[in-house]
Amino acid sequence: MVQVPENAEDLKAIAPVICYPVETLPAPDMALYAAAREGLTKREEIRVEARDATCFRVPAGCFFRIKSIEGPQVGDLNLWNAMDFNERFYSGKTRALHGTHITTGERMWSSFPALRPMATVTHDTLGWYGIDAYGGSVHDVIGTRCDPYTHNLLKSGQYNHCCHSNLSRAFAAELGISVHEAEAQVHDVLNVFMCTGFTRDTGQYFMKASPVRPGDYIEFFAEIDLLGALSACPGGDCSAEHSSDVAVCHPLLIEIFEPADGALKGWQPPKLNGYNRSHGV
């Protein structure tokens, strides 16, 4: 039997404080990025087929967009430092710093010990969505990625086109390694265009139909040389179910842009984190 303290209501009434106030977080120079994105030249376009994934490379100082082209579709994004795959996107710390969803001006942070911005969101056509009445928002860093293990746990099935498998196949093909070696490099994603939140009554992770429509895009500035992998999730717009071929799915487009010469004057790639790594030893 759990003993409820006499002052239970008083304890519950204590106001929360933000875990990681971001006032001292190094701020991106959004004015510089805004000026640079006025003179972009498209270098490359890469199409990601439905229920599949593709790798792409973006040099530091370039921009890339993930775009909805044929219908509402969610994308699962992995990012690595192209020079050192041990440095990869850190969904959990990005969530701790920016909240459950990211938009313009917020960043995708990398794993320890680097912990630095890998990419900065420079434009988001779904920025208008904000937080809806259910607590839902777009571009989620809550979810991990749909995967065949959780699917097997819940439904005993063998499904091979979850984002986890799609990303593993894409990374294996890009590096010429086995899918099992590649799988170890796949990490928790940015769920691009995915509309999610937590239910107020049970605290459960929910998804709802993404508001994304063809033409919508999220744009990033590459702070370091990046290898990316994007999966067009088998959940489609994630309005009903994932981890199956039931949902209507669409391809996604990755566009890579180069700014004009001199447009990034004064910009430098972010340094590795300044902690000395002595850990008290």
Per-residue x/- track, 76-105, Zn ion (CB under 5 A): x-----------------------------
Quick one: 238 or 264, whose CB is closer to Zn ion?
238
Beta carbon of residue 195, minimum distance to Zn ion (angstroms, whole number) = 14
What is the size of the binding site for Zn ion (CB under 5 A)? 4
CA 56, CA 188: separation in Å to the nearest integer?
18
Q: Verify binding: residue 233, Zn ion, rule CB under 5 A.
A: yes
Quick one: 28 or 234, whose CB is closer to Zn ion?
234
Retrieve residue 48's tokens. Answer: 């990601």
Among 55, 102, 146, 247, binds Zn ion (CB under 5 A): 146
List helix spans (H) across the chain.
8-12, 30-36, 91-98, 148-155, 163-175, 179-183
CA 32, CA 21: separation in Å to the nearest integer?
24
Tokens 């190094």 found at: 26
Beta carbon of residue 163, minimum distance to Zn ion (angstroms, whole number) = 3
Among 55, 58, 62, 163, binds Zn ion (CB under 5 A): 163
Quick one: 163 or 186, whose CB is closer to Zn ion?
163
Quick one: 76 or 87, whose CB is closer to Zn ion?
76
Quick one: 42 or 47, whose CB is closer to Zn ion?
47
Buried b (16+ CB within 10 A) or exposed e, 226-249: bbbbbbbbbbbbbeeebbbeebeb
Quick one: 65 or 151, whose CB is closer to Zn ion?
151
Beta carbon of residue 254, minimum distance to Zn ion (angstroms, whole number) = 17
**Contact at 8 Å (CB) between 244 and 159?**
yes
Tokens 């700014």 found at: 259
- Chain positions 25 to 84 lying near Zn ion, rule: CB under 5 A, are 76
Beta carbon of residue 100, minimum distance to Zn ion (angstroms, whole number) = 17
Tokens 């508001």 found at: 211
Stretch that binds Zn ion, among 19-27, 77-85, 149-157, 159-167 (CB under 5 A): 159-167
Beta carbon of residue 164, minimum distance to Zn ion (angstroms, whole number) = 8
**Closest Cα partner for 109 from 68, 73, 81, 134?**
81
Beta carbon of residue 146, minimum distance to Zn ion (angstroms, whole number) = 3
Beta carbon of residue 53, minimum distance to Zn ion (angstroms, whole number) = 10
Tokens 């049970």 found at: 202
CA 277, CA 263: separation in Å to the nearest integer?
35
Quick one: 126 or 146, whose CB is closer to Zn ion?
146
How many CA atoms are closer than 13 Å to the CA of 110, on its beta-carbon side?
27
Interface positions with Zn ion (CB under 5 A): 76, 146, 163, 233
